[in-house]
Amino acid sequence: MQIAYRARDITEAHIVAGLLGANGIEAHVGGHYLQGALGEIGAAGFTNVHVEDEDLYRARELVREYEAGGASVAASDDDEDKPDFYARWFLLALAIVAVLLLNLY
């Protein structure tokens, strides 16, 4: 395994690992216990995101996009995977039920 990203803290490491996972790259966060040894002090530089050797190049590309502020959330463009898609259908169904109930009473 190779280090794809050196995070400032454990939260950022998990964000980057989640970004990589959403793009099909299995990532592991290391350094949990090292950071906890300092208690509540905001320790930095102890957490790393590790990926398999063959995924290193793609992972570092995604990390560069993340650092630039233009990270893609997921590789798939399926509308059915987006929460807005479900919310719109739910609101449409709710509106239809409301209209039907108003017409009955």
- Whole-angstrom distance, CA of residue 29 vs CA of residue 34: 12
Q: Are 45 and 14 in a shared domain?
A: yes
Q: Are 24 and 67 in a shared domain?
A: yes
> Which tokens hold the place of 59?
């992972």
What backbone torsions phi and psi does residue 8 show, to the nearest 5 degrees? -75, -35
**Coil, strand, or helix at residue 76?**
coil
> Which tokens hold the place of 83?
């929460």
Q: How far apart are the first and last CA of the chain?
A: 66
User: pTM to 2 decimals?
Assistant: 0.57
Where in the sequence is the domain holding 63, given as residue range(s)? 2-74
Instruction: Give me the tens of pLDDT residue by residue for the chain, a chain 105 residues long.
Output: 888 888 888 888 899 999 999 999 999 998 776 655 555 555 556 788 999 999 999 999 999 988 888 545 554 555 455 667 778 888 899 899 999 998 887
Q: What is the pLDDT of residue 78?
A: 53
Total number of domains in the chain: 2
Q: What is the pLDDT of residue 7?
A: 86
Q: Which of 63, 51, 57 is nearest to 25 (CA)?
A: 51
